[in-house]
Amino acid sequence: MADSTTTGFTRRALLGAFAATALTSAPTFANAAGFLRGGGDIRRIRMYSGRTGERIDMIYWIEGKYIRDAVGEINHFMRDWRTDDKFSMDLRTIDIMAAAHRLMDVNEPYMLLSGYRSPATNAMLRSRSRGVARNSLHMQGQAADLRMASRSVAQMARAAAACRAGGVGKYSRSDFVHMDCGAVRTWGG
């Protein structure tokens, strides 16, 4: 057994250093941007669709690499359910969603309201609501509208905004949050 006076370390000092490391590595809103850039070795996404009844709960990124089959399943899941059109979702949006989910420290999956939207679907929705953009990022596979029963719109929006990686819209009256990988900005109430 080493003498603590010759090594400079004591058991208490080592335990203290370990505890400090564990606390600083836990995801918080303050280090969300670092987490999004790869602060974890695994990225996981959990969602369900009230429209199709489908569920997804999968690891899609491990140690710096996206898993092609998992990404394919995510693209299928996030398709335009009205037309069944599929699109390659921008993985930056999926990363934002996963990081925000992890920051909220919940097991509940997101409810996906809208992922990819075909131009026809976007035009139809735009004719019914002033809140739908003509050139919506949904049509480029760069946006998702999400809801959770256990978290408020404000809590979800704070977690997504903490990632500082895209747009976050709060739609409190409709009870959902928009997350996208476009310019960093926030809106809504």
CATH code of 38's domain: 3.30.1380
- pLDDT score recorded for residue 40: 59
- pLDDT score recorded for residue 1: 46
Domain assignment present for residue 41? The answer is yes
Domain assignment present for residue 154? The answer is yes
Domain assignment present for residue 106? The answer is yes
Domain assignment present for residue 1? The answer is no
What range does the domain containing 132 cover? 32-188
SS3 99: helix
Q: How far apart are CA 94 and CA 180, in angstroms?
A: 9
- pLDDT score recorded for residue 173: 93
Smallest CA-to-CA distance from 45 within 3, 14, 89 is with 89
Q: How far apart are CA 148 and CA 46, in angstroms?
A: 11
SS3 147: strand
Domain assignment present for residue 105? The answer is yes
- The answer to whether 119 touches 139, Cβ cutoff 8 Å, is yes
Give the chain's domain count. 1
Hunting for tokens 């390659």 — which residue is that?
A: 88
Domain assignment present for residue 174? The answer is yes
Gyration radius (Cα) of the chain, Å: 20
- pLDDT score recorded for residue 22: 37
Smallest CA-to-CA distance from 156 within 89, 103, 78 is with 103
- pLDDT score recorded for residue 133: 82
Distance of CA 155 to the CA centre of its chain: 13
Residue 73, number of CB atoms within 10 A of its CB:
16
Domain assignment present for residue 88? The answer is yes
CA distances from 11 to 20, 21, 29, 60 (A): 14, 15, 32, 39
* Residue ranges in the chain whose pLDDT is less than 70: 1-40
Domain assignment present for residue 145? The answer is yes
